[in-house]
Amino acid sequence: MPDPLHRPLVEVTALLSRGELSPVELMQTTLDRIEATQPQLNAFTTMRDGDDLLADARASAERIARGEARPLEGVPLGVKDLEDAEGLVTSKGSLPFKDNLATRDSIQVERLRAAGAIVVGKTNAPEFGYTAITKNLVFGSTHNPWNLERSPGGSSGGTSAAIAGGVIPIGTASDGGGSVRLPAAMTGCFGLKVSYGRIPHGPDKIWVTIDTAVHGPLTRTVEDAALHLDLVAGPHPLDPNSLPPAGLSYRDILRDLPPGLRIGFSPDLGYTPVQSDVAEVVGDAAAVFAELGHEVELVKGGPPAVGRDWGLVNSFEAAGMLAEYLPERESEFGRAFIWGVKQGWRMTPERWAEAGRRREELSRWCAETFERYDLLLTPTLPFDPPPAKGPFPKEIEGQTLPDAGVGAFTIPFNLSLHPAGTVRAGLSQAGLPVGLQIVAPRHRDDRVLQAAWAFEQVRPWADEWPEFLG
C-alpha cells in the first residue's frame, strides 16, 4: 500500500473504515514519521506518550470492528500550539507559558475528538501567532518540506509543515491575518479562512473583542477541508458570535458550482507589487476559470491598504492580554514580539476611529465588488516563502511592499469577514508552491470550497509532495 500519510484525509478515512488500514498501523507509522522528520521539520512541540496513543488506536480498531466507527475514527490529529488540547501544554510559543497545561479541549478539538480523531501532539507556532514565520524562543524554527532553508509560513506553520511533509493526516490551524492561507500557500496545501463565527472560538480566559481571527482547515485537498468543516462548524453557547448551522454538508455540495459565474481577478489589489514569476503563475491559474466557462474580468484599483491598522489593533488587544506580565517578565518574551505588543500602547481614541473609518471603506469596496462579481481571485502571497528564520522582504524587484506586506492579500478579508481559501496554483521559478486566493461573499464558505474543488479537478496537486528525507 502507498504511504497513507501522503494520501488525502478522505482516502485515509475510507481505508480505515473498510478495514484495509489498521488504526494501530497508522498510528505507528505516524509516530515513526514524526520521529524521523522532527530534526528536519521541527513541526511538533509536545507529544503524548506513544504507548497511550497506540492504546487509543487499538480502541479505535475495536470500534471499527464492531461497526461503530465515527467519521475520523483512529485518525492521528495535530493541534496547533495556540489551541488547547486537554493534558497537553499550550505554550503559545512563549517562555512564560511553557508550562501552561490545558485542562480541557478547545471547542474545535473537542468536536474532532468526538468524531474519532486521536490527538498525538501540538504543532509549532510563532509566539502568540504574531508573525507569518514559525519560530520562537521555546522550540526554535519550523522548516518547509519543499526547501528546508525556507519557512512553512505562520502562524500555522507547524501544521502546514506536517501536512505537506506527510507527517499527519489532519491538524488544526487558525487565521487572524492570513495564518491559515499563508502557510497553506507556502507549502502547497489547501487552506480555508472560514466566515467569522463558522467554527466556534474558545473557551478563552479573556473575551476577545477583535473579530478577525478564525479557526479553519489546512489540508491536502479541498474535500479534506470540507470534511473537517462538516465536523467542527456550528454554534456553541460559549461563543456568542458563532453562526447557526449552515443547513448543508460542505462535502456534499462540492460538485455544485453554478455555471457561468462572474469572477473578478485582481493581480495586486491596487497597492502591492508581486514577484514577477509568482504573478505569472497566479495569472495562469486564474485563467483556468475561464476555461471552465466562467467570465473572468480584470479588477482595477482596490481597497484601502489596511495592514498598519490591522497591526495596531491587534497589538492593542495583545497588550491588554499580556498586561499582567509586563514589565516584570518582559525579558522572557521574544524581542520582536514584545516590541510589537508595546506598539499597542500607542492606541488612542482618534487612532481607533481612523482605523474604523478605513475598515468601513474596505467594507464598502467589498460590497461593491461582490455586487459585480460572484468570486474574487488574487495571489495569496506576493513572493516566495521567506527564509526559515526570516526576514520578510521589504521590496520586490525594486518596488516597496506595503505595511504587513506578507499579508497584503489576506489581511483585508480578515477585516471584512469574507471567507477566503487558497489553492496551489503551481510552482515558482525556485520550485516553491504559489497560492491562488479565492474570496466569496460573506457566509458563502460553500462557494469558496466549490470553486476551489473545481480548480483542483483541472489542476490536481494531491499526488505531488516534496520528498525531503534521505
Domain boundaries, the chain: 4-458
Separation of alpha carbons 182 and 386, rounded Å: 11
Q: What percent of the chain has pLDDT over 70?
A: 99
C-alpha grid cell, residue 155: 502562524
Q: What percent of the chain has pLDDT over 90?
A: 96
C-alpha grid cell, residue 419: 471567507
Q: Are 123 and 162 in contact (CB under 8 A)?
A: yes
pLDDT tier, 357 (very low <50, low <70, confident <90, very high otherwise): very high
Q: Outline where 66-199 has alpha helix (H).
A: 107-114, 157-164, 181-187
- Exposure of 235 in the CB half-sphere (CA atoms within 13 A): 8
Class of domain 4-458: alpha beta
Helices (H) and strands (E) in the chain, counts: 13, 17
pLDDT tier, 321 (very low <50, low <70, confident <90, very high otherwise): very high
What sign results for the dihedral spanned by CA atoms 141, 145, 148, 150? negative
What's the average model confidence in pLDDT over 117-141? 98
Which of 32, 184, 46, 60 shows the shortest CA–CA distance to 122?
46
C-alpha grid cell, residue 312: 495596531
pLDDT tier, 49 (very low <50, low <70, confident <90, very high otherwise): very high
Residue 363 confidence (pLDDT) above 80: yes
What's the average model confidence in pLDDT over 444-453? 98
Q: Is pTM, for the whole model, over 0.95?
A: yes
Residues 156-183 pLDDT 10s = 999 999 999 999 999 999 999 999 999 9
Separation of alpha carbons 228 and 251, rounded Å: 9
What's the average model confidence in pLDDT over 275-279? 98
| Identity at 256, one-letter amino acid code | D
What's the average model confidence in pLDDT over 345-359? 97
| Catalytic machinery residues | 80, 155, 179
Query: Among 206-215, 343-352, 426-435, where is mean pLDDT lowest?
Result: 206-215
Residue 469 confidence (pLDDT) above 70: no
Q: Are 285 and 458 in contact (CB under 8 A)?
A: no
Q: What share of the chain is helix, strand, coil (3-state, %, to 5)?
A: 40, 15, 45
C-alpha grid cell, residue 292: 471552465
Separation of alpha carbons 1 and 219, rounded Å: 21
Q: Are 107 and 236 in contact (CB under 8 A)?
A: yes
pLDDT tier, 267 (very low <50, low <70, confident <90, very high otherwise): very high
Q: Are 177 and 414 in contact (CB under 8 A)?
A: yes
What sign results for the dihedral spanned by CA atoms 466, 467, 469, 470? negative
- If DSSP codes are grouped into helix, strand and coil, which group holds residue 170? strand
Supply the pLDDT for residue 470.
Answer: 34
